[in-house]
Amino acid sequence: MTFYKSVEDLPAFTDYAMAGGNGRTYRYFKGAVLYPFGYGLSYTKFEYSNLAVTANPSTTQDVLVSVAVKNTGAVAGDEVVQVYVENPAAAAAESNAASPSPAAVAAALPPKTLVGFKRVTLKPGEQKTVECTITPHQLGGALSEKNRINVARTITVRAAPHSGTGAGLAQQVTLTGILPRRSIGLWRRGWWKPEHSFNRGHML
């Protein structure tokens, strides 16, 4: 849940558009927040390092992500490692073109999407590597109820304790290929399952 700074940041009650204006939810909101989506408190501190993403990733294959998390505090604690995909924005000229480029099409995707998370328990000084699998369906997005896209583009993969700007570690990767249209129906019909995000990850 995102905690906004003011009710003035919220759109009208009758406005259900996600991307319009300042945006809604952590995926689209452009302003500063009181507490970002995924934020939590702990009695200890954690450090992220060694973020790694599959080399030469494709829109048609799983993308593997791993990151090391270390408890740098004096007591044991749990950290919920979250992995986000951040999509690039296109220039206005590209977005308004009669035949938009793949970059312009990609700009229609949510700027940020949570694609996986896992809770890890660490003793003081202990470090563990957390792994995540991002599926082709998670790399894409729905433009409408009947139209889903997943195009070649440069994305940012972020492993972080919450969705706040600049949190955790990030790495840019370039996706190649285009997702075949016959496979887009699985996500749209709700056949995506939580376990597709992390390999046997704990749920919050």
Q: Cα(11)–Cα(20) distance, rounded to whole angstroms?
A: 9
Instruction: Indicate whether 194 pLDDT > 50.
Output: no
Query: Looking at 122-131, 135-144, 156-165, which range is the least confident one?
Result: 135-144
Mean pLDDT is lowest, of 22-26, 32-36, 143-147, 161-165, for 143-147
Query: Is-contact 51 81, C-beta < 8 A?
Result: no
Q: How far apart are CA 134 and CA 27, in angstroms?
A: 17
From the list 41, 10, 14, the residue with the least C-alpha distance to 25 is 10
**What is the average pLDDT across 166-177?**
90
Record: fold of 12-196: Immunoglobulin-like (2.60.40)
CB-based contacts of 62, cutoff 8 Å, min separation 6: 54, 133, 134, 135, 136
Residue 113 has pLDDT above 80, yes or no: yes
| Span 103-110, average pLDDT | 69
